[in-house]
Structure 1
Amino acid sequence: MKIYFANGLFALADRMFNEYVVEKIRKMDSNIEVYLPQENGDINDKMNYADSIKIAQEDNKELLSSDLVVAILDGDTMDDGVASEIGVAFGKEIPVIGVYTDLRQHGFENPEKLEAVKTIGENPFAYINNYTIGLIKMNGMMVNNIDDMLEGIKKYSEK
């Protein structure tokens, strides 16, 4: 099974998180291959130069040859590249596991939080683009933690 791991890769925190999660995936099963774009120095060594076409060609080659996409959706907004990768995966019917760990999604039964939404400018919940989430749910699944992501990968690898 080949997995395309989609997340931002420009901040040190993102790169460290990506390495941490991909290591967990790779340790699951030696038959799982993971493409992590930040490991592709031809296009992502920012000391060098790769134009937009080369980046799209390289990442699409890996994405389109994958059996599954793991897409990290965290951040103030999801990474633009990740949103594009989700769209490509949907168009090619490659399943996506969307991972959304934002803590603001918790407490959805708290009456104070629900009441706060009625006030202009108050929203104690996180927002994520519903169209993109819909694409994931139509051919994949959403999870809110790494353990559930690993379980999801296991289920797809058994198909």
Structure 2
Amino acid sequence: MLIYFANSLFSNADRLYNQNLVAAIRKTYPEVEVYLPQENASINDKSAYGDAKMIAQADTDRVLKSQLLIAVLDGPVIDPGVAAEIGIAYAKQIPVLGLYTDSRRLGADNPQKLAALKQVAENQFAYINLYVAGLVKLNGEILTDEGTLVQRIGNYLA
């Protein structure tokens, strides 16, 4: 099985997070191949040169070969590359596990937070693009912690 791991990869924090979570997946499922785009130096060594077509072709080929896409949905907005990869996976009916750990999703039953929604500029909750979230939900699920994500991968192993 090939898993494609989609997340932003431009900050040290992102790269370390990706590296650590993919290491946990590889340790739990040693029989599974995980494609982590930041490990593809031919297109993602930012001190070298990889043009838009090279990057698009390399990553799209890997999405299309995968049997599962893991997509990190965190951030002020879903990373545009991740959103595109989700769209490709959806179009090809490749299951998607979204990971959304934003702590602002908590407190859905807090009356103060709910009342604040009626005030301008007092939304206490994070917004996630509903179209992209819908694509994930139509062909997979959105999980809220790494442990559950790693565990749930087992449901997709053939």
TM-score by length of 1: 0.98
Alignment map for 1:1-159 (pairs within 5 Å): 1-157=1-157, 159=158
User: Identical aligned pairs, as a percentage?
Assistant: 51
Mapped partners of 1:30, 1:107: distance in 2: 37
Which AA in structure 1 matches 2:155?
A: K
Unaligned runs of 5+ in 2: none
Partners of 1:147 and 1:118 lie apart in 2 by: 35
Shift of 1:132: 0.5
1:152 Cα shift? 1.5
Per-residue deviation, residues 26-78 of structure 1 (Å, max 9, x unmatched): 00122110000000000000011111000011001111000000000111111
The separation in 2 between residues aligned to 1:72 and 1:47, in whole angstroms, is 25
Counterpart CA distance in 2 for 1:17 and 1:105 is: 20
Aligned residue pair count: 158
Q: Distance in 2 between matches of 1:50 and 1:29?
A: 31
| SS of equivalent residue, structure 1 residue 97 | strand
Provide runs of 4+ in structure 1 moved above 3 Å. none
RMSD across aligned C-alpha pairs, in angstroms? 0.6
